[in-house]
Homo-oligomer: A and B are copies of this chain.
Amino acid sequence: MSVTAAQGFRAIGLAAGIKASGKPDVALIVNDGPTDHAAAVFTSNRFPAAPVLWSRQAVSDGSARAVIVNSGGANACTGAQGFQDAHAMAEATSHRLTEAGTEIGAGDVLVCSTGLIGELLPMDKVHAGIDECVAALTYDGGESAALAIMTTDSVPKLAVRQGEGYVIGGMAKGAGMLAPGLATMLVFITTDADIPAHELDQALRQATSVSFDRIDSDGCMSTNDTVIALANGASGSSPDTGAFTEVLTDVCIDLARQLIADAEGASKDIAITVHAAHSEADGLEAARAIARSNLLKCAIHGEDPNWGRVLSALGTTSAVFESDEVDVAINGVTVCRGGGVGDSRDDVDMSERDVLIDVYLKAGESTVTIWTNDLTSDYVYENSAYST
């Protein structure tokens, strides 16, 4: 049900011919109210795509009523024309919805795009898609919307959680360019909880910081990453912010894990946990450095518990640790003890898809997990065989 699981949200996804494949490529989400609270986090990339520029501005007042999304083109690095096109998508959505009886100003329409960077969108097809979406909007359109935002994803990503008297549902897309600071990742979350915009914003930032910010597929950060949350209060339930944040975090972690599990070419899901770090920042730096080692990711692909490559990556960081105190366990076997040889590599069973790498810094009390995946020939193939 994804974005239509909560009361009072309509959605739809359909094919407008933007993708050469003919697959679904336009999605629309509409919030029927009563409230129109919205929050969003965006890529920190310094080449933000045109729709990011538009949506960042549009959501800055804490309200939004609709989101129009296209796949098949990122509308990134497209200059002034690209921004005009993003603006035109908001205007057309506003216009068509108002004609159809749902009065929404263009400033309350957020815009997202995903696909190839550096090409202008085929706006005639986009406009036709918007028209069709408005006509087809439905209270059970969440799944069709989730299909329409996919690019190299092999499966749609959906999540729903029940809070006390309210529902949070969401959908996500993203398979490559997944990295902290978000990625070629679009995430849409809706809730019928009655929560003020500033609390929604606070909850969203907290939830993304421990979910989407903790997955790192290939260290590459995209120009289009966006996570949007819409709240309409339709349930009449006004949750405590802490409890709401917990449920929202649960939804975000669920979607984040689905993203990393579907990462391009991946054959292993790797959880890198840094224990006893001096600080959370230290733990994050260490875990990310390890998660970005191509050599380690190749070794895991080859089912080789190559702990030397864990230490090599850790050794490039500024995290607090003594090199002769660090332990490393792979799938529960402490293959490195005190920075040197530990238990036998041969005892490590690497046959499962899930791989656990636990690093003990013995420098403090913070624990941080980053989720990543292995580096495979399929990743190379998917990212060299055609433009994405």
Measured CB to CB, the residues of A under 8 A from B are 44-47, 74, 76-79, 82, 116-120, 176-177, 181, 218-223, 292-295, 298-302, 304, 306-309, 311-317, 321, 323-324, 336, 338-341, 375-377, 379-387
Q: Most B CB atoms within 10 A — which of A77, A311, A314, A376? A: A77
- Distance between Cα atoms of A306 and B299 in the complex (Å): 28
Complexed CA–CA distance, A82 and B339 (Å)? 12
Q: How far is the CA of A384 from the CA of B294 in the complex (A)?
A: 10
Distance between Cα atoms of A116 and B321 in the complex (Å): 23
Do A221 and B336 have beta carbons less than 8 Å apart? no
A221 to chain B, nearest CB (A): 5
- Please name all residues of chain B whose beta carbon is closer than 8 Å to the beta carbon of A77 when the two chains form the complex: 307-308, 311, 336, 339-341
Let me know if A302 and B384 touch, CB within 8 A: yes
Asked whether B384 lies within 8 Å of A117 as measured between CB atoms, the reply is: no
CB pair B384 A220 closer than 8 Å: no
Partner of A380, one of B82, B119, B223, B375: B375
A203 CB to closest chain B CB (Å) equals 27
Contact B316 A118 (CB under 8 A): no
A376 and B380 contacting across the interface, CB-CB below 8 Å? yes
Shortest Cβ distance from residue A135 to the other chain B in the assembled complex, whole angstroms: 33
Chain B residues closer than 8 Å to A219, beta-carbon distance:
292-294
Which of A47, A222, A223, A375 has the largest number of chain B CB atoms within 10 A? A47
Q: Is the interface of A mostly helix, strand, loop or mixed?
A: loop
Of all chain B residues, the one with the shortest Cβ separation from A79 is B340
Count copies of this chain in the complex: 2
Q: Which residues of B contact A74 (CB under 8 A)?
A: 308
The 7 residue pairs across chains A and B that have the minimum distance between CB atoms: A117-B308, A302-B384, A79-B340, A298-B383, A377-B377, A45-B315, A47-B315
- Taking CB as reference atom, which chain B residue is nearest A303? B384
27 intermolecular pairs with C-beta atoms under 8 Å apart: A44-B316, A46-B314, A46-B321, A47-B311, A47-B315, A76-B308, A77-B307, A77-B341, A78-B341, A79-B338, A82-B340, A116-B308, A118-B307, A118-B340, A177-B295, A177-B312, A219-B292, A220-B294, A220-B309, A220-B312, A221-B316, A223-B312, A294-B375, A298-B383, A375-B384, A376-B380, A377-B381
For A177, the closest partner residue in chain B by CB is B295
Question: Is the pair A295, B46 in contact by a Cβ cutoff of 8 Å?
Answer: no
- How far is it, in angstroms, between the C-alpha of A307 and the C-alpha of B78 when the chains are bound? 12
Task: Kindly list 11 other residue pairs between chains A and B, CB separation below 8 angstroms, not including A118-B341, A218-B294, A302-B385.
Answer: A45-B316, A47-B312, A47-B323, A76-B308, A77-B341, A79-B338, A119-B341, A220-B294, A220-B309, A294-B375, A380-B380
Chain B residue nearest in CB terms to A318:
B46
A384's partner among B78, B304, B311, B385 (CB-CB below 8 A) is: B304
Partner of A298, one of B82, B293, B315, B380: B380
Report how far A301 CA is from B44 CA in the complex, Å: 27
| A383 touching B295 in the complex, CB below 8 Å, given contacts A341-B77, A341-B79 | yes
User: What B residues does A307 contact at CB under 8 A?
Assistant: 77, 118
| B residues less than 8 Å from A311 (CB atoms) | 47, 77, 117-118, 223
